[in-house]
Amino acid sequence: MEFHATTAPAGAQRTGCAVVGVYEGGELSAAAQALDAAAGGLISRVIRRGDFSGKAGESLPIADLGGGKVERALLVGLGPRKEYSRKSLRRAATAAAEWLKKSGARDAVLYVAGEQPAGVDAYHASRLSALAVASAFYRIPDLKSGKKPPAPKLAKLGVAINERGEAALARRGLAEAGGIARGMALSRDLANLPANVCTPTYLATRARGLARTHRTLRVRILEARDMKRLGMGSLLSVTQGSDQPPKLIVLEYRGGKAGRAPVALVGKGVTFDTGGISLKQPPGMDEMKFDMSGAASVFGAIEAIASMKAPVNVVGIVPACENMPSGRATKPGDVFTSMSGKTIEVLNTDAEGRLILCDAITYARRYKPRAVVDIATLTGACVIALGAHYSGLFSPDAGLRRELEHAGERTDDPAWPMPVAEEYADLLKSNFADLANVAGREAGAITAACFLWRFADGLRWAHLDVAGTAYLTGARKGSTGRPVPLLVDWLLAQA
């Protein structure tokens, strides 16, 4: 979809659909008032008849405005004026998108973006609105037989702003929204594919495809023999039960100054997780195709910044493999030597994500990165702690923790700070190795982060546990594309 900024008042610009907001109680927004005047009071009459109340998320189309430059209008509810917030704006934009993608409109103007909540400027209002629309328009890769549903007709979306002097801000916000939307779509596509399609080899192929698309991107694929040569015994311990060959995928984006240290993103890429010998329960195991969502978010973030030509250097590192039970699979109690030289006693083979990430974090050191952020659907404990709304954010570096937290706030992709402390790390002691891969039942998300912390010594490091936020379950099952918006906003801030 093509986004553009406009300063023309509602009713003065030719469009297939003008989307205007109404506050709860029937109070017209400034744009709705302008359109109402151009339409001879039609919107006011609709409100007086009681057909539309303005409740948050409500929508009502008006098919014919009686001539003029606007073919049709869509009223969207903004909720109570005194409670209007960025959440209200996002909800209104999403409601508009849900109707627009079913309509016959080929272009539209989103005037609700001009209703900027307190503390939200034209840049953030435009980016937020466009991202909400793009997310609503996403379509899951359709592997069903038979006739495919028709694609939405909407191709162009104008985002209205009130002040001409803010047009440049709005255009920058829309450009970033377009890049983030492309990154989120790629991330969601990869995660939504079934595990018999999206294998480690498939991810490697897609990485090479990205490099062909973006000249600033270089890809390196390490095979099992390369990992063995590097001493990645921890990573290889996870994959030895699978017939799918593992891949360590390295994506180097060079958009910043030559020689400037990169930021490293490390994404967990377990394309299917059975739990290994510590086998998971059958209900819900199909969702373990989403266990590579951390890897998918790294792909998405790289796609986003490469498409924007962002002036920053980034290296994305994706350890990709399957975790399967077999006669060759790792057994509880086995001990392996990681790339760092630390030995690990594997007490639970279903705690495999940390075993592949620790070697990938060690590998990241060769780039002398300014910061390392790993992203993983790491623990069910994080889902219990934070649910599906906040990602878990772990870092001993207060500055980095605040940077990532603020990036999540700016993009409505929030992360909640969690502790990293020696008291929790001490729970990982082992009688037979330098450390165990699990501790007790308590504080599972924290001890998992502390395991990774043991391999990030001396690095400016953070860990995002996205087990609850990267995908939805139930009737709305599918990838969310998170935390691509958070990561991209943070990367842009580094630039």
Residue 128 pLDDT: 96
Average pLDDT over residues 447-455: 98
pLDDT band, very low/low/confident/very high, at 67 (cuts 50, 70, 90): confident
Q: Is the pLDDT of residue 147 over 90?
A: no
Query: In whole angstroms, what is the distance from residue 168 CA to residue 174 CA?
Result: 10
Superfamily grouping for domain 182-494: Zn peptidases (3.40.630.10)
Average pLDDT over residues 135-142: 92
Q: Is the pLDDT of residue 491 over 90?
A: yes
Q: Does domain 2-161 have CATH number 3.30.1360.200?
A: no
Query: In whole angstroms, what is the distance from residue 288 CA to residue 63 CA?
Result: 45
As beta bridge partners, residue 270 has 321
Residue 309 pLDDT: 96
The per-residue pLDDT of the chain, averaged, comes to 96
Percent of the chain surpassing pLDDT 70:
100
Whether the CB-CB separation of 247 and 225 falls below 8 Å is answered with no
Query: In whole angstroms, what is the distance from residue 345 CA to residue 336 CA?
Result: 7
Of 417, 414, 416, 418, residue with least CA distance to 480: 414
Residue 66 pLDDT: 82
Average pLDDT over residues 25-49: 95
Burial tier of 360 (Cβ tally within 10 Å: 0-12, 13-18, 19+) = buried
Q: Where are the domains of the chain?
A: 2-161, 182-494
**70 secondary structure, DSSP code:** B
For the chain, state the CA radius of gyration.
24
Q: Which residue has the higher pLDDT, 147 or 396?
A: 396
Burial tier of 351 (Cβ tally within 10 Å: 0-12, 13-18, 19+) = buried
Strands annotated E in 150-245: 156-160, 217-222
Q: How far is CA 351 from the centre of its chain?
A: 23
Active site residues: 280, 354
Percent of the chain surpassing pLDDT 90:
94
Residue 149 pLDDT: 82
Q: Per-residue pLDDT tens for 420-431?
A: 999 999 999 999
DSSP letters, 5-66, are: EE-PPTTTS-BS-EEEEEETTTEEPHHHHHHHHHTTTHHHHHHHTTS----TT-EEEES--S
Residue 204 pLDDT: 98
Q: Per-residue pLDDT tens for 210-239?
A: 999 999 999 999 999 999 999 999 999 999
Residue 143 pLDDT: 85
Residue 148 pLDDT: 81
Q: Per-residue pLDDT tens for 81-122?
A: 999 999 999 999 999 999 999 999 999 999 999 999 998 999
Rounded to the nearest 10 degrees, the angle between the axes of helix 484-494 and helix 398-410 is 120
- Its pTM stands at 0.96
